[in-house]
Structure 1
Amino acid sequence: MLLVIDIGNTNITMGIYDKENLIGNYRLNTKAKRTSDEYGMALLTFMTVHNVIKEFIEDVIISSVVPKVMHSFNNGIRKYLDKEPIIIGPGIRTGISIQTDSPRSLGADRIVDAAGAYYTYGGPVLIIDFGTATTYDFIAADTTFQYGVIAPGIEISAQALWTQAAKLQEIEIKKPTSILAKNTVTSMQAGLVYGYVGQSEYIIRKFKEALKVDMKVIATGGLGRIICNETSMIDIYDPDLTFKGLKIIYEKYKGLEH
Structure 2
Amino acid sequence: MGNTVTKFGVFAADELAGTWEVTTSERCTADEAWAQAARAIDMLGAPEPASAILSCVVPSLAEVWRSALGKLCGTRACVVGPGLKTGIRMRYDDPSEVGSDRVADAVAARETYGAPVVVVDLGTTTNIEVVDESGAFVGGIIAPGVALGARSLTAAAARLPMIELRAPERVIGRSTRSAMQSGVVLGEAARIDGLLDAVMDELGTDAPVVITGDGAAQVAALISHDAAVDETLTLRGLHHIWLRNRR
Indicate the SS of the match to 2:60. Answer: helix
TM-score (norm 1): 0.91
In percent, how many aligned pairs have the same letter? 29
Matched, 1:84 2:87: no
Alpha-carbon distance, 1:193 to partner: 1.2
Alpha-carbon distance between aligned partners in 1 of 2:26 and 2:83, rounded to the nearest angstrom: 30
Q: Structure 1: any 5+ residue segments left out of the alignment?
A: 1-6
Alpha-carbon distance, 1:250 to partner: 1.1
Alpha-carbon distance between aligned partners in 1 of 2:30 and 2:83, rounded to the nearest angstrom: 26
Alpha-carbon distance between aligned partners in 1 of 2:129 and 2:63, rounded to the nearest angstrom: 29
Alpha-carbon distance, 1:211 to partner: 2.1
CA contact (8 A) 2:121 2:213 kept: yes
Indicate the SS of the match to 2:193. Answer: helix
Aligned to 1:119: 111
CA contact (8 A) 1:95 1:249 kept: yes
In the TM superposition, 1:100-249 aligns within 5 A as 100-249=92-241
Aligned to 1:35: 29
Matched, 1:18 2:12: yes
Q: Structure 2: any 5+ residue segments left out of the alignment?
A: none
* Amino acid across the alignment from 2:23: N
Picking from 9, 15, 23, the partner of 2:3 is 9
* Amino acid across the alignment from 1:216: P
Alpha-carbon distance between aligned partners in 1 of 2:92 and 2:166, rounded to the nearest angstrom: 35
* Amino acid across the alignment from 1:251: L
Indicate the SS of the match to 2:201. Answer: helix
CA contact (8 A) 2:20 2:44 kept: no
Alpha-carbon distance, 1:123 to partner: 0.5
TM-score (norm 2): 0.94
Aligned to 1:3: none
CA contact (8 A) 1:128 1:219 kept: yes
CA contact (8 A) 1:219 1:234 kept: no
Aligned to 2:51: 59
* Amino acid across the alignment from 1:44: A
1:147-190: CA deviation from partner (whole Å, max 9, x where unpaired): 31111111111111000100011111111122232111111111
For the aligned residue pairs, the C-alpha RMSD in angstroms reads: 1.5
Indicate the SS of the match to 2:55. Answer: strand
Alpha-carbon distance between aligned partners in 2 of 1:151 and 1:32, rounded to the nearest angstrom: 22
Aligned to 2:64: 72
Alpha-carbon distance between aligned partners in 2 of 1:217 and 1:129, rounded to the nearest angstrom: 11
CA contact (8 A) 2:50 2:74 kept: no
Alpha-carbon distance, 1:253 to partner: 1.7
Alpha-carbon distance between aligned partners in 2 of 1:101 and 1:74, rounded to the nearest angstrom: 28
> Would you say how many aligned residue pairs link Structure 1 and Structure 2?
247
Alpha-carbon distance, 1:24 to partner: 2.2
